[in-house]
Amino acid sequence: MPAVNKRALQAGERIRVLVVDDSVVIRRLVTHALEQEPGVEVVGSAANGSLALQRVPQLNPDVITLDIEMPEMDGLEALRRVRQSYPQVRVIMFSTLTERGAKVTLEALTLGADDYVTKASNEGSLDRSMARLREELIPKIKQFFRFPGASTAPAPAARQTLEPRASTELRSSKRRPEVVAIGISTGGPAALGEILPELPRDFPLPVLLVQHMPPLFTRLLAERLSANCALPVEEAVQGVAVEPGKILIAPGDFHMKVVPGGSGVRVCLDQSPPLNSCRPAVDALFASVGQVYGGAAIAAVLTGMGQDGLRGVEILKAQGASVVAQDEASSVVWGMPGAIVGAGLADRVLPLKQIVPEILRLAGR
């Protein structure tokens, strides 16, 4: 699915949101949470997908929040039809933290949903539910838009460094790559489903992957990808060997790092504090790859909100690793790769379809 780039809002324009859920309580909760946010306007609600589709041309929303399980027309069918008729409308799915909820959410992301939030459960109070919803949903709505007066360049934080900049710009690795490390977030499941099957069965390097997702989701994502890839794809477990020709995905709520172990390299999982509000964090993986592999690494930063991966890339780049960033046109959100590009750390900035060919070239294939 082609990316829909950030839309620039005009002065005084607000993001128009249509809330779709069969629960009156959830519709009211979401509406109340969003109405408190300047720059966001709830233009209507609907109790099922059929009603939502009738209201889209009347209300002209920029974003639809869409429940998955609804009567008459469920969220997946509504999503298919929205994508066919209104490709520019952003869709954020509401998911439950259950096996079925995670599976259907991954299906929705593959079908073209832009992002998802998990429904509040057992929050203890309405105020706490409201606060958690606002904290998770509002940034995910705003990530698709550029507000008046906002710079089109990455935020100044994208230029924070760990070492003097000269060391990150001048060094070039002469070592053959020994590992591929990938960081990805918003838009990730669809992007990974498109590119990872392109890696051949005899690919000679291990692939380590951080996708921002909660527990359960990462295991199901690994299973889904493995079914369509020539290489095995697994959710990493503590102590598993990092081996050529295997793709390991960081499990939700754990940082995935690599450490020397025995005759090779092994995975170390931990629950140290989140980095960039993320656990797993790309920075945690990349920093450990720098410690173990030095410059003998290929780092790829793909579509995603925020700047996770920037500081890890600075570490890798300082040691001479190769850095590839996805371009803005093919990214669902150009936050993470945009931060890398804005800091001058990317060796190549490429459309999604050219990422794996570049990795193969760097790996000597």
Q: Give the residue numbers marked as catalytic.
A: 185, 212, 308
Q: With contact defined as beta carbons under 8 Å apart, do 306 and 334 qualify?
A: no
DSSP 241: B
Q: Tell how strand 115-118 and strand 90-95 pair up.
A: parallel
Please answer whether residues 326 and 354 qualify as being in contact, where contact means their C-beta atoms are separated by less than 8 angstroms: no
Which of 223, 193, 49, 211 has its CA nearest to residue 111? 193
3-state helix, strand, coil in the chain (%, to 5): 35, 20, 40
Report how far residue 327's alpha carbon sits from residue 349's, in angstroms, rounded to the nearest whole number: 5
Helices assigned H by DSSP within the chain: 24-35, 49-59, 75-85, 99-111, 126-142, 165-170, 188-195, 217-226, 282-293, 310-318, 336-342, 355-362
DSSP string for 142-164 = HTTEE-TT--SSPPGGGG--SS-
**Cβ contact 303:185 at 8 Å:** yes
Cβ atoms 214, 306 nearer than 8 A: no
